[in-house]
Amino acid sequence: MLGLAGFAASVAGLANQVLHRKLSASQMEQITNWEYGKRWRTLPADAIFPASVSYPPPAGLYGDPALTLAARRVGVAGQASCAAAADPTAAAVLDHDGCQALLRATYVDDTDSYVVTVGAAVLPGSAQAAAAARTIAHATGADGLGPAVRTVRFAATPAAGFTDSRRQLSGVVSAGTYVVLYTVGYADERPREPVAGDTYTDDEMSSAGTGVAHAVLSVLAAPVPAPSCPGTPGCTGGWER
């Protein structure tokens, strides 16, 4: 009986260790960040930057709530550093928070009127990405254009003449470990000028930019699976690559 009692106590102790084993909050965050962060290395460019993006029109511009607008990808740029692919102000913020790379692509809307260059900056963690996006969103350049991604031109497309000097507006969004910057301009040779006074143009350009940016984030920052503890019954936290 004493032997059985000792055996039962040892089993109970082992069960208590196994059933209550779990990762700390910081470990769980580290695992989640790793899951987000591996995507830019493993996914093909065509997956990160979809060939076509649908987005809703600006509120109040069209009467049909089912109507959607579209933009198509005209090219994907090579991987670059944040210093090379973003304005100095944006690059300084991103590099301060540990930017590893910046991936860019250019889109045109379905009327060939607007051009969008979008850039996905890779940060080491969700907290750094959120902090960088907040800082960039609240900064304004001397010309009224916020810190932005540099444009990428592609010959023989409506984006062939889309240079930095033709950027009309810019913006930033973030999710997961990514900061996505976008900049929008005309496909023709109109020079940079404030579009905030033209509600129609400002809203439609903004819709195009945010639509493309969120499409990229929907891939890179899609929800990651909850960490698990393979082979450990009752484990409530853990991870296996």
pLDDT in tens, 87-127: 999 999 999 999 999 999 999 999 999 999 999 999 999 99
Instruction: Report DSSP state, residue 52.
Output: E
Note whether 76 and 49 are within 8 A (CB).
yes
Q: Has residue 231 got a pLDDT over 90?
A: no
Q: Has residue 200 got a pLDDT over 80?
A: no
| Least confident among 56-65, 81-90, 149-158 | 56-65
| Beta-bridge partners for 31 | none
Tell me, what's the pLDDT at 226? 76
| Least confident among 67-81, 96-110, 129-143, 227-241 | 227-241
Q: Give the tens place of pLDDT for each residue, 121-167.
A: 999 999 999 999 999 999 876 556 789 999 999 999 999 999 999 99
Question: What's at 180, amino acid-wise?
Answer: V
Distance between CA atoms of residues 143 and 86, nearest Å? 16
- Comparing CA positions, the residue from 34, 39, 80, 28 lying closest to residue 217 is 39
Q: Has residue 223 got a pLDDT over 50?
A: yes
Q: Has residue 45 got a pLDDT over 90?
A: yes
